[in-house]
A and B are shown apart, each in its own frame.
Chain A
Amino acid sequence: MSTEELKNSITAILPSSTFDETGEFLNVVITSEELLPLMNTLRTKSEFDFDFLFCLTCIDWKDHLMMVYHLLSKTHQHTLVIKAKIADRNNAQIETVCNIWRTAEFHEREVFDLFGVKFINHPDLRRLFLSDDWVGHPLRKDYTDENMISL
């Protein structure tokens, strides 16, 4: 599907989504509560058929967190980027997508470890890289540590 068709189809499913076409891919900006139904539709409906999640990450924009999901469809060869805005930094939570794409299991553990985002219904939410008793989430912009050296 072309970018226009994707935009129209997604607006039909979720009218409150906004779009950002400045980059290479079509970006869809939604809130964190609207994530799971949209992801289910994108995976299961045959005109979308996004079966390959190739990047799952988070960006810390100082006043909110933004979850970024890069999706690709092997059959239709179209790409989409879903951005889910998490407004509450202190109690960041979002639904997990690891029942849809199994690769999300490790990626979400990494985001939990480094950003502190809790994933609801994740089968095994523990820290991945850092030791289990580490305090804080390093990749956040307001993270400080007495051992940190600034260049």
Chain B
Amino acid sequence: MRGLIGEDILTEEGEFIINMGPQHPSTHGVLHLKIWLDGETVKRIQPNLGYIHRSIEKMSESLSYRNFIFATSRMDYLAAHVNNEACALTVEKGLQLEVPQRAKVIRTILSELTRLQSHQLWWGCTGLDLGGVTPFFYAFREREAIMEIFEETCGARLTQNYMVPGGIMYDVHPNFQKRVKDVMIQIKGKFEEYDNIMTGNVILENRLKGVGYLSKEDALSYGVTGPTARASGLSCDLRKSNPYSAYDQVQFDEILDTGGDCYARYMVRMREMRQSVSIIEQLIDNIPEGDFQAKTKNVIKLPKGEFYQRVETPRGELGVFIVSDGAASPYRIKYRSPGFSNLSALPIMAKGGKIGDLVAIMATIDLVIPDIDR
């Protein structure tokens, strides 16, 4: 098959190589995928990363223990609160600091709000990637309400930087409880609408069912965590197994599904949204009084040693590994990001499917590329 400029556009095996990204509407960031195609069937995928590598780990080696948290809001920008909480918890582990109850409860409420808005954006973008443009606007309408709460509480909608070692930066404003309760009532009424628009749609089920199967053994071996792994039957919710902040004071279910395909991942996230609402409702009425920040020195110096903290972000397990040699800056920081391992399972999930399936799989894994590239 000769191309227009006279060279063979097929490889020796008769495959057609196409580049998806880095500028592409559905790669959720700058991801470059090199795809080997046989007609419409995907034979092989090779991800190329690094288009948004900002060397956060190297940079943090010259920042103080209060400052390095600010860079992590830019890592997974849809879950800034959870990233900040992970870093703050690691520093507190090093200092062996006890965080006051009020701060713990408020941290948990904000983390669950973050999870809720991240899943809502995921839902809208999944609809958008599959061609149904309307759910996008419905998702953002509710998400705006949560963003306004963030703006009122922390001053920023996206890069909040509200969690500091010791607790939270300022106390919540007096209107916080009422605002959150109103928004929860508003969102709870909308879940049925979401199901009506997308979940029951025949075309959506055909696009997602049986597509991108990931077995439980593969999920464990590739280090896949979060809703992606829970949809394959792998129990990995860190909020249940290693509870932190106020997660041991609330009742909620770990959502598991055995399907392993895109539809299972979709349903797991839809149910997780409902669980988040239930957690917030349990906590919002009983925020304990007290300090919002434990006393720390002005210049924080961690003792010599290594500290590791794992938290559950909306995408999976984030691990913060700090190696300290007693100085005022970390000696080495490693962020074990969830997207990094989830992406490494993409080639086996997409092999043998069509390009349309690849888009559906990338949508349901919920990739955020700055999280992968750091």
> Quick check: do A and B touch in the complex, using CB within 8 A?
yes
Residues of B within 8 A of A59 (CB): 323, 331-332
In B200-238, the 8 Å CB interface with A consists of: 218, 220-223, 234-235
Q: B317 contacts the other chain (Cβ, under 8 Å)?
A: yes
Q: Check B93 against A24 for contact (C-beta < 8 Å).
A: yes
Q: Check B334 against A101 for contact (C-beta < 8 Å).
A: no
- A23, A102, A138: the one contacting B221 at CB < 8 Å is A102
- A24, A51, A130, A139: the one contacting B220 at CB < 8 Å is A51
A96 to B49, CA, bound (A): 21
Q: Check A23 against B305 for contact (C-beta < 8 Å).
A: yes
Q: Check B223 against A54 for contact (C-beta < 8 Å).
A: yes
A24 to B242, CA, bound (A): 13
* Chain A-chain B contacts (Cβ-Cβ < 8 Å), number: 76
Q: Is the interface of A mostly helix, strand, loop or mixed?
A: loop
CB-CB under 8 A for A129 and B53, given A51-B220, A55-B319, A150-B62 = yes
Q: A86 contacts the other chain (Cβ, under 8 Å)?
A: no
- Considering the complex, give the chain A residue whose CB is closest to the CB of B334: A57
Contact residues on B (Cβ < 8 Å of other chain), bracket: 35 or more
Q: Check A129 against B220 for contact (C-beta < 8 Å).
A: no
**A17-38 vs B: 1/0 string, CB under 8 Å?**
0000011110100000000000
Q: Among the interface residues A23, A54, A101, A151, which one has the most CB atoms of the partner chain B within 10 A? A: A54
Residues of B within 8 A of A102 (CB): 218, 221-223, 344
Q: B142 contacts the other chain (Cβ, under 8 Å)?
A: no
In A107-147, the 8 Å CB interface with B consists of: 107, 127-131, 138-139
CB-CB under 8 A for A101 and B340, given A24-B93, A57-B321, A138-B58 = no
Interfacial residues, chain A to chain B (CB-CB below 8 A): 22-25, 27, 51-55, 57, 59-60, 68, 70, 74, 77, 101-103, 105-107, 127-131, 138-139, 150-151
CB pairs A–B below 8 angstroms (19 shown): A23-B305, A23-B307, A23-B308, A24-B308, A53-B223, A54-B336, A55-B334, A57-B321, A60-B332, A70-B308, A74-B220, A77-B241, A107-B340, A128-B50, A129-B373, A138-B58, A139-B332, A150-B62, A151-B63
Interfacial residues, chain B to chain A (CB-CB below 8 A): 49-50, 53, 55, 57-58, 62-63, 93, 218, 220-223, 234-235, 241, 305-308, 310, 317, 319, 321, 323, 331-332, 334, 336, 340-341, 343-344, 373
